[in-house]
Amino acid sequence: MFKKFLLAVVLSASAGCASVPITGRNQLSLVSDQEINTMAAQEYQKVLQTSRLSSNAEQTAMVRRVGQRIQQAVETYFRQQNKSSQLEGYQWEFNLIEDAQENAWCMPGGKVAVYTGILPITEDENGLAVVLGHEIAHAVARHSNERMSQQMAAEGLGGVLSAAVGQNPSATQNVFLQAVGVGSQVGLLKFSRTQESEADHLGLIFMSMAGYNPDGAVSFWQRMAAKQQGGNIEFLSTHPSDATRIADIQRELPEARKYYTAR
């Protein structure tokens, strides 16, 4: 155990740090984007193969329309910041899955899924933009990569994913599943409070850049909180929604509004 702890300290100190867009927060990065994006793409296909895609053409088109607008906003922002290389290897996909879960997620590399169960709560395109902005923010902020790097360091798996797979494939696979939220736990990763707040912050800005009104985020989270009163919601089981979160969003709205132009 001490050796694992010592290795984690050494890796944390010696590894090159990445930084989150907009917030500038430094984060541990032991896993290459190419490796984690490739693994995520494989798992995404497994999800699609074992799920039932929605046959509702209008709702499916809405999910793809909103997703692609936010995608374009993200790509424009990164290009303007001369950081387009951070999105290399992204192969965006937006799919609507027929499932009562009130949930949505975005894997590394831009692999997005929305469950039909959350659409009554989003109510319209703007509400959906709140959700997709938040989930896409998790991906472009490399939160899964950060989680996996932290777990690899803690497990003593080293700093190269391919090498770790060769040394201990079972442990590495478990780390990946926990970090990306796939398999039986797809989309249910419990990000840290720091990462959740960061996704809220970035999500507001990305949806604003895409021409969606960020003020709608407050009413969306209020609806989610009200729905939670009647029972457990998958989306809220991993995305805490409370007065503090809503207050934080309200505090961040003036910044987000600067990027907003109605379409």
Is residue 135 among the annotated active site residues? yes
Given a contact cutoff of 8 angstroms between Cβ atoms, the answer to whether 208 and 260 are in contact is yes
Q: Which two tokens stand for residue 92?
A: 């965006």
What tokens does 238 get?
Answer: 């991993």
Q: What span, in angstroms and rounded, lies between the C-alpha atoms of 152 and 8?
A: 8
| Separate counts of helices (H) and strands (E) for the chain | 12, 5
Structure tokens, 49: 């193969």
What one-letter code names the amino acid at 22? I
State the sign of the Cα–Cα–Cα–Cα dihedral 28, 30, 31, 32. positive
The residue type found at 87 is L
**Could you give the CA distance from residue 189 to residue 262 in angstroms, rounded to a whole number?**
33
Catalytic residue among 102, 135, 146, 252: 135
Q: Which residues are paired to 105 by β-bridges?
A: 113
Residue 92: phi and psi, rounded to 5, are -65, 140
Q: Cα(253)–Cα(218) distance, rounded to whole angstroms?
A: 9
213 burial type by CB count under 10 A (0-12 exposed, 13-18 middle, 19+ buried):
middle
Active site positions, annotated: 135
